[in-house]
Structure 1
Amino acid sequence: MGDSRSVLVLTNAYDVTADVVLRLLADRRVPVVRLDPGTDLHAGASLTAAYRTGEQRGTLRTASREIDTTRIRSVWVRRPSPYEGPQGLSDQDRRFAAEQALWGAGGILTSLPGAHYLNHPWNNRAAEFKPGQLSTAQRCGFLVPSTVITNDPDEARAFATCQPAGVVYKPVWNTPYRVAGRPHSVWVREVLGAEIADAVSVCPHMFQAKVGKAFDVRVTAIGGRLYGIRIDSPDLDWRYRQELMTCTPIEVPRSVSRPITAYLAELRLGYGAFDFAVTAVGDWYFLECNPNGQWAWQPTETTTAIAHAIADQLEKGPDT
């Protein structure tokens, strides 16, 4: 069997962000197993778990390693591929195989005894619901823009009419979308009450009071450490044209760091990427927290610091 203190990294083969941390772990001589269960288990890798009264055991075999899954110290859930089933099967058989893999292999990998998860997939999923984020943010003491999530067009129009600074629309989930067969992103954008059509009734839509921001801030939180980056962009949504934004480090005030700590504790997260809109008078408005947000796009010094913080958490393993 392999090293009893291995780190398991669940991600796809093209995840260059994970590579940054894996190099640090290699320099520290921490053994690592990289697995993309949605694809690797169709390409020679195998996963076994056995249970009986008073005992659980398991084995993960890849092309290069064999490890005892009950002795993994940490699991980093980065960007694994979805479970889609192997190619070459009928649609029904492929769907059956995909769902069995999700509930079988996925269930094993989220139930490793004694492992430290960054973050646990169940906690990640719970923390991705926008209504839950806003509710948690309120309880933890953040400033939160007035927000309505509704499928009632009249409610949406009435809300928009009552916001003196205007309203923006945001999707509640980043659903893959195509226009004329090409990938299309749905960005945050300003809307007028008169633009809100009856088609809102098809599904819930999220409308939020526009914050008169001076700039945006991304705060990456990991292992009790906070890394703040000020983002200056000509666009309402800085993700739209990232080549035009500028990023500089910024100190996170105590009035924001305290709610961040409370938020992570309530949702049982070890990592979170928080987005804020900051006004000219220094008010920080909570916009969202991505529990598995990207971070390697930030300035080199910040990216390096975050990578080391993640490596520290994975190397440390569970609290004893």
Structure 2
Amino acid sequence: MIEAARYLLSAQRTIRMEAEAVASLEERIGDDFKNACELILKVPGRTVVTGMGKSGHVGGKIAATLASTGTPAFFVHPGEASHGDMGMITADDCVIALSNSGTTPEVLMLVPLLKRLGIPLISMTGAPESPLALASNAHINTGVDVEACPLDLAPTSSTTSTLVMGDALAIALLEARGFTAEDFAFSHPGGALGRKLLLKIDDVMRQGDAIPRVTEDTPLADALLEISAKGLGMTTVTAADGALLGVFTDGDLRRALDEQVDIKATAIGELMTRSPAVAHAGILAAEALRIMEERHISALVVLDEQEQTVGVVNLLALLEAGIA
């Protein structure tokens, strides 16, 4: 039990120390941070992030976050940059260099080359008077008083602080660019978010002959055949010119059977639901799902700009598309 308690105390101490390190960053958001944002926004090229060791791992994540939030970015290993990958960086780019000490040789080796090309240099270090910080066009202080590591050696609090500052930079740039949720989806087309934000109702609805259709004078028996043939559990009821008059659903059928109507003699127009919920072509499939959930229905008629029926979408189609 004593050993188990030590595990818990160690974990709690680590979290507390790193939380304190992150909290101290807020007071450092000032002119240097603003200058860094403006430098990145001004360059016509991309933002190149570099760093060695643990800083390199953090730099890779920062580059990925920047790229997915509207700031084209990628990571370059400083050791590889000295052996050919420097060619990946152009005069139109800017560089964010990470080094807690500000004295990492592999990173400092790149500084004269960046200066010669006139590439703006932004650094994140824990040492404002370090060679890297002093050589930078903008320096962001990510230093910590002590690492969470009890030996004060392993990068822990310092890497967390740098990661958080990178997120702060990415979000500030996102807002400055007016980056939208739809823009984000274009960077993530393969994920669930991309599907929800990009898929239109037109992509999943039944169209043409696949739409169940009857007229209002169609006998209920014939309407049931149309419902069965099209497999959506409902049918649209349309006028001769194609205008939507109503829908007939499983729920309407249950009510009709409860009233013991004559299925051969009763016209569907007497039983249909008038003024049903509809959606218009071009809306997001996720919006169609919201309408269906709010109205507690399992199918939705889609109209065009002339209010003509152009499709029907049901919950199954949205489920298969990964929306529901």
Task: Verify same fold: TM over 0.5.
Answer: no
TM-score, reference length from structure 1: 0.22
Q: Which has the higher contact order (CA 8 A, sep 6+)?
A: 1
Identify, as 1 or 2, the structure richer in strand: 1
Identify, as 1 or 2, the structure richer in helix: 2
